[in-house]
Amino acid sequence: MATAPAASDAGSKSKLLVFDSKEDLAVSLAKYTAELSEKFAAERGAFTVVLSGGSLIDALSKLTEPPYLESVDWSKWHVFWVDERVVPKDHEDSNYKLAFDGFLSKVPIPPGQVYAINDALSAEGAADDYEACLKQLVKNGVIAMSTATGFPRFDLQLLGMGPDGHIASLFPGHPLVNEKERWVTYIKDSPKPPPERITFTFPVINSSAYIAMVVTGAGKAGPVQKALSDKQTSSDLLPIEMAVLQDGEFTWFTDKPAVSLLQNK
């Protein structure tokens, strides 16, 4: 069972949820996502959802089961990746394959509404192509635009964080964290293999309406503590600390080991 909402010291529109087990976290994440699906389907006639790779996909397992399998209006979903490895879609490193095997193959989202990268292109080409795809979907009204930032405003980004504090393929100390113009960019020297990836930039991540940051395990306690402490300084920020929504709601889905270094948990 969730012991939360517990502390919420990350800002006015930030919530910290701490769960006793991965099972409890998955139950809550499914309910949260299904409620947002209903809200955006009613308000906009579409629900734009961004996925990361990693352990996040396992945490979505409850959405593929009753009651959500039947109750969610999957026909409204449009699915994107916050980052993708530049490998063929059937490669074991592919975030598309991970999401397809663990989630997308189990729910009836129309295949034309699942926006994978063009895996025939180079990293640079795939980033350009993905950005062009997003621009077209903004034009069609599928993806909303943020009037505050001038960047696309995804309804929900479901993200994970690495033990070094990276999110998407935005790594600590890498110049890509400072990208201010592009919507999608590429990296050829990712410290986490494989090296070639495309990634959303911070302006796009931070223009979201909702972010669920799913972080479990003691290996991530350091960056969680840094991100949720009050002692943030303007220099030397980890990527997770740069994820600050302009006008949205940021919810941490964590477990006890992940928050074990927090003072007032």
Binding mask 95-134 for ligand 6PG (x = CB under 6 A): x---------------------------------------
Residues 48-77 that bind ligand 6PG (CB under 6 A): 52-56
CA dihedral 200, 205, 209, 210 (to 10 degrees): 100
CA–CA dist 179, 170 (Å, integer): 10
Contact segment (CB under 6 A) with ligand 6PG among 39-47, 128-136, 156-164, 253-261 equals 156-164
Nearer to ligand 6PG, 44 or 174 (CB): 174
CA–CA dist 160, 29 (Å, integer): 13
Nearer to ligand 6PG, 56 or 205 (CB): 56
Supply the minimum distance, in Å, between the C-beta of residue 155 and ligand 6PG: 19
Supply the minimum distance, in Å, between the C-beta of residue 85 and ligand 6PG: 6
Residues that contact ligand 6PG, how many (by CB under 6 A): 14
Contact 248, 195 (CB under 8 A): no
**At which residue do the structure tokens 């927090």 appear?**
262
Interface with ligand 6PG, residue 160, by CB under 6 A: yes
Nearer to ligand 6PG, 46 or 130 (CB): 130
Contact segment (CB under 6 A) with ligand 6PG among 132-140, 154-162, 171-179, 244-252 equals 154-162
Candidate residues 60, 86, 117, 161; the one interacting with ligand 6PG per rule CB under 6 A = 161
Binding mask 196-235 for ligand 6PG (x = CB under 6 A): ----------------------------------------
Binding mask 72-101 for ligand 6PG (x = CB under 6 A): -----------x-x---------x------
Nearer to ligand 6PG, 46 or 134 (CB): 134
Neighbours of 143 (CB within 10 A): 22
Q: Is 102 exposed, middle or buried (0-12, 13-18, 19+ CB in 10 A)?
A: middle
CA–CA dist 248, 100 (Å, integer): 28
Helices (H), 140-220: 202-205
CA–CA dist 251, 16 (Å, integer): 6
Interface with ligand 6PG, residue 172, by CB under 6 A: no
CA–CA dist 76, 93 (Å, integer): 28
Supply the minimum distance, in Å, between the C-beta of residue 11 and ligand 6PG: 22
CA–CA dist 167, 220 (Å, integer): 12
Contact 59, 26 (CB under 8 A): yes
CA–CA dist 1, 22 (Å, integer): 10
Residue nearest to ligand 6PG (CB): 54
Q: How far apart are the first and last CA of the chain?
A: 16
Q: Interface with ligand 6PG by CB under 6 A: which residues? A: 52-56, 83, 85, 95, 160-162, 167-168, 192
